[in-house]
Amino acid sequence: MIDPSGITSRVLDSLSAAGLLTPEQISSLERQAAEAGVSVGSALIERGLVSSADIESVLEHEMGVPHVDLSSYAPEDSALALVPSTIARTRRVLPLFEIEGMLTVAVGEPMDVFTLDDLAAELGVEVEPVLADPAAVSAAIAQYYGEAAAEPGPAPRVSGETGASAEPGSTSSAGTPGLAVSDFFGEYSEEEATPSVPVVPIAEAAEEPARQPVETIQEMVEAPPPEGPPAIDLDILAVADSRKVAVLVTEILEHAVSRGASMIHLLPYKDDFFLVYRVKGVLEKVASAPLSLQGALIDAFKSFAKMSVETGSNPSFARTRTRVGDRDLVVTVSSVPTIAGQRMVISLEGQRPEPKGLSELGMSDAEARALHAMVERGRGLLLLCAPVAAGASSTYYALLAHAAKVGKTVYSVEYSIDYEIPAVAQVVVNTASPVPAANYIAAGLRQDTDVIAVDSIRSVEDVHIAVEAAGLGKLVIATFPAADVASGVSRLLALGVEPHSLASALTLGVGQRLVRLNCRSCTQEAPSAALAKLPGVPEGTVNKAGTGCPNCGKTGFRGATGIFEVLPFTEPVRSVVAAGGSAPQIAAAAEAAGMRPLIASGLARVISGQVSADELDRVLRFT
């Protein structure tokens, strides 16, 4: 039985909607997979009912999964830490970034998306894919994890490093230019290149007992204990003094931060439990104690995170802020009951600054004014459409911040929290809970709020509640994974939303993508065959591109910005939606209504010399 909310189920539904598989074939595949004890994806590949190209087309056009150039991404340490190198190599995935239990990975072979549900189950997180060149995925895995015969685990890096060079944006040993995630929506600065955790002084580090880095739980159990006295003494748990155990929690947090750990694990194994850190992608066994003593430490961490200690028989999740040493941290605690005992994972992340405004994200003044006016005076559904990792969440938070600034009461339902906005009621959907996101959204209708926001819509139930809220006079801001506004509306209709209800609810649509900016220090005229292929390029336009210099790490790029399309849903556009129009029909009605499409926004950047024609072609794919 496949998970109806999993990637496999969504891909099969999209294949059926595209006419590539019948419901009978899908049922047959599920039976075959169950009888053979294999995944549905394996059964699909074995029977050859669809090709890899079919899967790729469905992922991109039906599900909004983007193709990415891995030169645009420097995988975050926390993401690399989640996926051991053995798993990354065998499953052929490159983790890019992880936000509150949602891990985005790059896959090179479209068929590999059918393995991601198993990967999610192994790692205990949700997984979302992006597509990349297979050779680039293999090269990046070797770059960040080392060659297969080398020492397990990624080479130690600090935030902002890509590959062998310590300079952000530098060219790796594989020849792939990198762009740090911190470069998105801003210029590179020395502050962004500093490590995200304090560096332990050499003298202090020398006092730490040597530890053997491992990648699997079995290796961790079999690894010898570190020499010398333990850094963390778990024997205090035998005293059963709640105050002393609370002090132990503080000691563990401080020690983990000093070690540069991104995660803390409390892992039950047979008759013992282990305190384990995830440091630069590998596991470090810190201490162990009898399993009978684990409960006191589990309860102490739950109390620290303000979780109910009576939820031992159910998965539980909590998020809190604290200060450890000189660092302000967001601590996420996830606890899951297993047959061996409670398994707890504590994630340690630095606090983010306030979200940027719409203009800072790259939106034109006219577009920003339209969205601000909508937030200040509008009602109905404001739909943000973008592929994964295309910046929709940044726009989402910019709108929430503006709504709070002008005095609106805002209720936001989120799967992960990128920014905390004190004046916004931010509710995190607990993916470990049986309560669906639609229930959280529905609860917002009874909270006397002006604005209800959802990041992101994932089911037809979510859409129905959002449409209902819009019909009640609320402003609803929602993100939805899609290539652009037209395809986003078309996909909502394909989910089964009633066309007339959706048409009456929609008031404004926003589509967006990210493009890398030319380095201003080395930009010059550069002939490009892609320029002539851009639709609507004015005669005499000169292409400019960065040639590479020390300021940009010899990549030619420095920073990134957004390109946008903003569509007011006028009556002519609504009539096409109400009739259940296709994506091309909706797009045609939108352009007739005067919407400036993504290509026009991107072309303006090319004409100004900020973005090269090849970069715009890479993002919007005209050639």
Tell me the C-alpha distance between 230 and 277, whole Å.
14
Please write the tens of the pLDDT for every residue from 361-419: 989 888 898 899 999 988 899 999 988 778 888 899 999 999 999 999 999 998 878 78
Residue 561, both tokens: 């910005």
Cβ atoms within 10 Å, residue 560: 22
Tell me the C-alpha distance between 75 and 95, whole Å.
7
pLDDT at 195: 30
Percent pLDDT > 70 in the chain is: 82
**3-class secondary structure, 244:** helix
Evaluate if residue 219 carries a pLDDT over 80: no
More confident residue, 176 or 219: 219
pLDDT at 101: 65
Average pLDDT over residues 133-159: 63
CA-wise closest residue to 276 among 212, 351, 330, 320: 212
Residue 604 makes CB contacts below 8 A (sequence gap 6+) with: none
More confident residue, 401 or 173: 401
pLDDT at 248: 92
Half-sphere exposure of 500 (CA within 13 A, CB side): 0
Residues facing residue 105 across a β-bridge: 95, 129
Evaluate if residue 431 carries a pLDDT over 90: no
pLDDT at 210: 46
- Measured at the CA of 21, the angle between CA 18 and CA 23, to 5 degrees, comes to 110
**Domains along the chain?**
7-183 (3.30.300.160), 212-350 (3.30.450.90), 365-514+561-598 (3.40.50.300)
Band (pLDDT 50/70/90 cuts) for residue 220 is: low
pLDDT at 170: 35
Lowest mean pLDDT among 112-126, 287-301, 311-325, 538-552: 311-325
Q: Please give the full DSSP string across 3-46, using - where no structure is assigned.
A: -TTSHHHHHHHHHHHTTSS-HHHHHHHHHHHHHHTS-HHHHHHH
Please write the tens of the pLDDT for every residue from 229-240: 678 888 888 876
Evaluate if residue 111 carries a pLDDT over 90: no
Please write the tens of the pLDDT for every residue from 4-59: 667 888 888 888 777 788 878 888 888 887 787 777 777 787 777 787 878 887 88
Band (pLDDT 50/70/90 cuts) for residue 621 is: confident
Please write the tens of the pLDDT for every residue from 83-110: 888 888 888 999 887 765 678 888 988 8
Residue 488, both tokens: 């986003």
Cβ atoms within 10 Å, residue 535: 10
Residue 343, both tokens: 């398994």
Percent pLDDT > 90 in the chain is: 22
Evaluate if residue 154 carries a pLDDT over 50: no
Look at the block and give the residue holding tokens 């563990």: 252
Structural element, H or E, at residue 178: none
Evaluate if residue 74 carries a pLDDT over 70: no
Look at the block and give the residue holding tokens 């065998």: 90
Band (pLDDT 50/70/90 cuts) for residue 72 is: low
Band (pLDDT 50/70/90 cuts) for residue 432 is: low
Give how far Cα 70 sits from Cα of 27, 76, 334, 525, Å: 36, 13, 30, 25
pLDDT at 382: 95
Tell me the C-alpha distance between 61 and 68, whole Å.
14
Please write the tens of the pLDDT for every residue from 571-596: 999 999 999 999 999 999 998 888 88
DSSP character at residue 155: P
Residue 423, both tokens: 């004046």
Average pLDDT over residues 173-199: 32
Lowest mean pLDDT among 67-76, 342-351, 375-384: 67-76
For 4, phi then psi, to 5°, come to -65, -20
Mean of per-residue pLDDT scores for the chain = 79
**3-class secondary structure, 413:** strand
pLDDT at 623: 56
Band (pLDDT 50/70/90 cuts) for residue 342 is: confident
Cβ atoms within 10 Å, residue 427: 18
Band (pLDDT 50/70/90 cuts) for residue 204 is: very low
Give Dmax (Cα) for the chain.
Answer: 80
Residue 236 makes CB contacts below 8 A (sequence gap 6+) with: 244, 245, 248
Tell me the C-alpha distance between 231 and 538, whole Å.
67
Tell me the C-alpha distance between 277 and 72, whole Å.
29
Number of H-type helices and E-type strands within the chain? 22, 18
Average pLDDT over residues 601-623: 88
Q: Please give the full DSSP string across 67-123, using - where no structure is assigned.
A: B--GGG-B--HHHHHHS-HHHHHHHTEEEEEEETTEEEEEESSGGGGGGHHHHHHHH
Give how far Cα 389 sits from Cα of 263, 372, 422, 543, 546, Å: 23, 23, 25, 26, 24
Residue 349 makes CB contacts below 8 A (sequence gap 6+) with: 78, 262, 329, 330, 331, 332
